[in-house]
Structure 1
Amino acid sequence: MNYAVSVPSGVALEELPTYVHLARAFAREGVEVNFTLMGDGNMHWATALAEQPGVRTYHVRHEHCALAMAMGYSIASGKVGVASVTCGPGLTQLSTALATAAQARVPVVVFSGDTPINASFYNQRIDQGPVVTATGAHHIACTSMKRMLEFVREAFYVARTERRPVVLSVPYDMQKQKLPAPHDYVPSTDYVPDTGPVAPHPAYVEKAVDAIASARRVVVIAGRGVLRSGAQSQCEELADLCGGMLATTLPERGMFDHHPFGIGIAGGFSRDIGKELFAQADLVVAVGASLHHFTVDGGTLFPQARVLQIDAHPVGLKNGRKVADLFLEADAKLGLGAVIAGLKERGIAPSDWRTPELARRIAEEPADSTEFEIEPATLDPREAVLALDRVIPKDWEIVSGSGHCSYFHAQMRGRRPEHFHTIREFGAIGNGLCYAIGVAVARPDSQVVLIDGDGGFMMHAQELETARRHGLKLLLCILNDGAFGSEIHKLRADGLDDSGAIFGRGDLGRIAEGFGLRGSVVTDVGQIEALIEPFKAADVAELWDIHISDRVTSPTMRKAHPKKH
């Protein structure tokens, strides 16, 4: 990697302060974007990084949001995200975002200031290491001037190879000192082993072929590994060979929407028809999918099926459950290719599971057909999402928020997984707007749409100012039930007072206008169709405050929390 870095004219390397050398090292790592909230501990470094050629800096309103934006940037760009905060309270604000990045395996590097080592008193002092490591992130205390640049390389190496967040804590006063014996920086990419994709073992390919050949109801579940290895067509070929169904994990939703036997998401977000077909399966082939608790719907999704996992890094026990009965350790594309070749050599015939009537049901039946009484001046969230799905172009980037409403917009159809962005592992709401900003920065030539709930959106509504200041034209579709949706449905299911989780719908459109953006309140699906063209013609972000009924409960919630009274 060959990146030009800035050095002041006529100034020798030996004369530059350490914070400049650290900024140059980040630039050498290929960093193009930094999300930051400045304070004493990071302002010199952040300013120096902004001066490096090709580096863009986005100034945010909350430290948590800086890291969440870096996470959104990372999942959309495939690069290491970078954020920066000051020491003490700046760092402690990151705990939720760090835990989320650690559990979701998002590679990010945080440059954090740290307490000046020569200060007898500093009112932002805290032992930062335990705060960071408690979240599952990797912490590097940069207290050696001689090794300062090695710390940067270690941070990016760990982020890249372990896919986890890393925090560099650099004491404020050390940043201003001269770096002893500065040298040309060698980036971490020069040390990452190039081992190539994992090839399958022939004996285990044979076991996989035996399992598939003897099954009559096969469902292939594609996970992140399929997208990374480019194995979509192999998944489809395998399903076609055995007359099986195709499904995906949540992040890859939409991959098989074009296929007549693509049944959608596997897990708690499965459509009604998907649950029905999973219940009939006698073999599930999980490809590049870890089979998380939610993917298997707590172990209830396919009770009669054996499981074959094809994965470069298979794990036998996850979330307290046995993952699979058979394993084929291999890259998704190579593993599937070998299995398909073995099946063709045997000449297996497809099962009779597929029928024209079944294809019709998959194409036409709603994800959830349960009926609810909708209160006046509100929309059924399922109808609202169908209207959004009709008007939003299929190639726009969709950022999926968390919370109860996330089930509904996960059912949008005909959208490629490359245009769908979600981080759901830690169960934290409040990140949607930040992720959307990160995705917009990573894909400046694409239109980004956030679909989130009102409770999560209001947690960091101040970042509307960040979007306005940096000229990011987002479309924010807020499904507003005037409450914390998950909590009201859980309280109601238990027969308890739900008033503590209700705060009213208000007018979120006016909030957007207060930040210099455009906003509208939506109480009729016809408004959604009328709003899309004006949004396309405008030059600023826009918020659609979509008032939805609080009586519609998602299938996931109904199953997990059945009414007791």
Structure 2
Amino acid sequence: MKASDLMVRCLETEGVEFVFGIPGEENLDLLESLAHSRIKLILTRHEQAAGFMAATYGRLTGKAGVCLSTLGPGATNLVTAAAYAQLGAMPMVMITGQKPIKRSKQGQFQIIDVVDMMTPITKSTCQIVSGPSIPARVREAFRQADEERPGATHLELPEDIAAEDVDEQPIPASEVRRPVAEHKAISRAVALLSAARHPLLVIGAGANRKRCARMLRAFVDRQGIPFITTQMGKGVVDENHPLCLGNAAVSDGDFPHRAIEQSDCIVNVGHDVVEKPPFVMKTGARKVIHINYASAEVDPVYFPQVEVVGDIANAMWQMNEALSRQPNWDFDFMHSVCAAMHAHQEEGIFDARFPVTPARLVADIRRVMPSDSVIALDNGVYKIWFARNYNAAVPNSVLLDNALASMGAGLPSAMAAKLVHPDKPVMAICGDGGFMMNSQELETAVRLGLDLVVVILNDSAYGMIKWKQQHMGLTDFGLDFGNPDFVAYAQSYGAHGHRLSATEQLVPLLKQCLASGGVHLVDVPVDYSDNDRVLNREIPERSRALQAAQG
């Protein structure tokens, strides 16, 4: 068989369902092989969107998503998606084409060193230089992409190698069990936690995979220790739980940070250095127990005293078995933090002003989306409001990127989520700036027959940067733009377009869109004037007042 046939058989052996991307001349043998396989090609309108979709597939399934591009400009268009997957710990394998490497007919036309380009933003990258090496190269790319910490890998398949005749067979994956934490490490962690007065659990990005949720929920329920989540740890334990103290969406000064300041022992589960740390350690102050698949990466603000390294779910089970509620634990202040946090979240949820305010927007979307539904957020200031005010009930039901934080990912991520979860309601929530970076994928969504709601938050500006510009007292300059008629734009792709003209229309309109099927775009004018008052002034003032009242 041809080497391209072998390549596709290797992908099938890895369980690949979809290949997202845009083929080029150098991929034609591979394209022909895909045409005769059980793998579905998802043809996108931009390689970056294909990469975002592949990464999101990996995030949701735990198995590497696959994306495809040609050489040169096609490969360079995957760079942002590669960084997105690598920083966000999403397993992804990229396959790019290349001119013949044994005999060049076109000099350096379109040729750049793609392997060298991918080196700093992937776990591994290589050029396949012979057909017989394909099984080993593919198996290794998937192994590295999937194993902890997951990320991006890259394979370059030159067109002359793809056309070679080969006799090799795919290499199946070996059975692997993740190492478990040593008993002595568990004992040290239990001893430190037992001696604490105000322990606290912090759930981070690393806990949002490999089925950690059940063990963490059991630990919280049995031990009664309050918890907070990071942005990428949302939903690992139901954020409606009475012991949830909120999300570390704001950098500092929010109610969860007051609980952190009160705590003398933090159990930090799944900490990932790509996320802004929700606390700053000081020598001699609170103790930190690091529970993760790998040891801690020490920096000036993170140097845990005890490390429990191994499978997170197993470590939490071991600790739960060895620990019991201690009479010296005191959570009175943390319970008051929880009450104050919930009270503050309730403010503004019925605000009738138009354009829609962020608090009302988040509340209305939470009202219409079932607990197991999926929202995919692009990047903008609204991400902070959703991270803070939109309680996630299950893991990976709120897809946000607090790692690379790239604009343009919201719509492709939602499309991938719908492919993975065809029976769940899925909604993309995008700022007008981020949406227009990959808006062409509306055609892809329509062509695929997806049932998808796309909410565009329209303020005709790059709102996040404008808010920060305002907060710094700088000139209002350089961040405003015009938008197309989004209703007509959606309709031009064969989607349904809607425009909100009153705040009270939002809930019934979203319910209608979710119920009627197809791709729906909803243009929602949004008013961000509350950003500075609420996020920069009101939250820190109220949380400080709470702390002062508690002495």
TM-score range, shorter chain: 0.7 to 0.9
Matched, 1:452 2:430: yes
Report the counterpart of residue 9 of structure 1 in structure 2: none
Q: How does 1:56-95 map to 2 (within 5 A)?
A: 56-95=40-79
Contact 1:266 1:296 in 2 (8 A): yes
Report the counterpart of residue 3 of structure 1 in structure 2: none
Cα distance in 2, alignment partners of residues 161 and 248 from structure 1: 24
Residue 45 of structure 1: CA displacement?
0.6
Q: Which of 309, 319, 324 is 1:339 aligned to?
A: 319
Residue 505 of structure 1: CA displacement?
5.3
Cα distance in 1, alignment partners of residues 310 and 66 from structure 2: 31
Contact 1:205 1:328 in 2 (8 A): yes
Cα distance in 1, alignment partners of residues 125 and 464 from structure 2: 34
Matched, 1:288 2:304: no
Cα distance in 2, alignment partners of residues 356 and 279 from structure 1: 10
Matched, 1:50 2:35: yes
Q: How does 1:516-555 map to 2 (within 5 A)?
A: 516-553=494-531
Cα distance in 2, alignment partners of residues 152 and 336 from structure 1: 34
Q: How does 1:355-370 map to 2 (within 5 A)?
A: 358=336, 361=339, 364-367=342-345
Report the counterpart of residue 183 of structure 2 in structure 1: 201
Report the counterpart of residue 543 of structure 2 in structure 1: none
Residue 128 of structure 1: CA displacement?
1.5
Report the counterpart of residue 351 of structure 1 in structure 2: 329
Name the CA shift for 1:352/1:550 in 2 (closer, same or farther; >3 Å). closer
Residue 449 of structure 1: CA displacement?
0.9
Q: How does 1:47-446 map to 2 (within 5 A)?
A: 47-53=32-38, 55-117=39-101, 118-122=103-107, 123-161=109-147, 163-179=150-166, 182-187=167-172, 189-190=173-174, 194-202=176-184, 204-228=185-209, 230-232=211-213, 234-236=215-217, 238-239=219-220, 244-254=225-235, 255-266=237-248, 268=250, 272-290=254-272, 292-296=274-278, 299=280, 305-318=286-299, 320-344=300-324, 348-349=326-327, 351-354=329-332, 358=336, 361=339, 364-367=342-345, 377-410=354-387, 411-413=389-391, 415-446=393-424
Residue 321 of structure 1: CA displacement?
3.1
TM-score (norm 2): 0.88
Q: Deviations over 1:315-355 (max 9, x none)?
A: 1415x5324122222433332333334433xx721534248
Aligned partner of 1:322: which letter?
Answer: Y
Report the counterpart of residue 20 of structure 2 in structure 1: 35
Matched, 1:513 2:499: no
Cα distance in 1, alignment partners of residues 86 and 277 from structure 2: 19
Name the CA shift for 1:51/1:246 in 2 (closer, same or farther; >3 Å). same
Contact 2:124 2:153 in 1 (8 A): yes
Q: Deviations over 1:269-313 (max 9, x none)?
A: 68943233222111111123336551325x289995321112231
Cα distance in 2, alignment partners of residues 356 and 247 from structure 1: 11
Give the count of matched residue pairs.
Answer: 532
Cα distance in 2, alignment partners of residues 157 and 538 from structure 1: 41
Percent of paired sites with the same residue: 27
Contact 1:36 1:85 in 2 (8 A): yes
Aligned partner of 2:14: which letter?
Answer: E
Residue 241 of structure 1: CA displacement?
6.2
**SS of match in other structure, 2:491:** helix
Cα distance in 2, alignment partners of residues 144 and 444 from structure 1: 39
Report the counterpart of residue 5 of structure 1 in structure 2: none
Name the CA shift for 1:555/1:137 in 2 (closer, same or farther; >3 Å). farther
Cα distance in 2, alignment partners of residues 302 and 545 from structure 1: 50
Cα distance in 2, alignment partners of residues 301 and 498 from structure 1: 38
Cα distance in 2, alignment partners of residues 256 and 132 from structure 1: 37
Cα distance in 2, alignment partners of residues 555 and 46 from structure 1: 54
Contact 2:376 2:400 in 1 (8 A): yes
Residue 512 of structure 1: CA displacement?
1.4
Cα distance in 2, alignment partners of residues 375 and 390 from structure 1: 16
Aligned partner of 1:139: which letter?
Answer: T
Aligned partner of 1:244: which letter?
Answer: I
Residue 137 of structure 1: CA displacement?
4.7
Residue 60 of structure 1: CA displacement?
0.5
Cα distance in 2, alignment partners of residues 283 and 309 from structure 1: 11
Q: Deviations over 1:483-503 (max 9, x none)?
A: 111221222233333331111
Q: Deviations over 1:100-155 (max 9, x none)?
A: 21222222111211022212325212222221113235221112234233322222
Cα distance in 1, alignment partners of residues 36 and 316 from structure 2: 47
Aligned partner of 2:225: which letter?
Answer: G
Cα distance in 1, alignment partners of residues 430 and 491 from structure 2: 18
Report the counterpart of residue 6 of structure 1 in structure 2: none
After superposing the two structures, state which structure 1 stretch, 263-272 or 39-48, moved more: 263-272
Cα distance in 2, alignment partners of residues 58 and 554 from structure 1: 42
**SS of match in other structure, 2:191:** helix
Aligned partner of 2:336: which letter?
Answer: L
Contact 2:455 2:522 in 1 (8 A): yes
Aligned partner of 2:260: which letter?
Answer: F
Name the CA shift for 1:349/1:167 in 2 (closer, same or farther; >3 Å). same
Residue 71 of structure 1: CA displacement?
0.8
Residue 531 of structure 1: CA displacement?
0.8
List alignment gaps of at least 5 residues for structure 2. 541-551
Contact 1:155 1:167 in 2 (8 A): yes
Q: Deviations over 1:49-78 (max 9, x none)?
A: 13212x111110011111111111111222
Cα distance in 2, alignment partners of residues 80 and 219 from structure 1: 33
Contact 2:353 2:503 in 1 (8 A): no
Report the counterpart of residue 467 of structure 2 in structure 1: 489
Cα distance in 2, alignment partners of residues 210 and 336 from structure 1: 14
Residue 481 of structure 1: CA displacement?
2.0
Contact 1:216 1:242 in 2 (8 A): no
Cα distance in 1, alignment partners of residues 88 and 382 from structure 2: 20
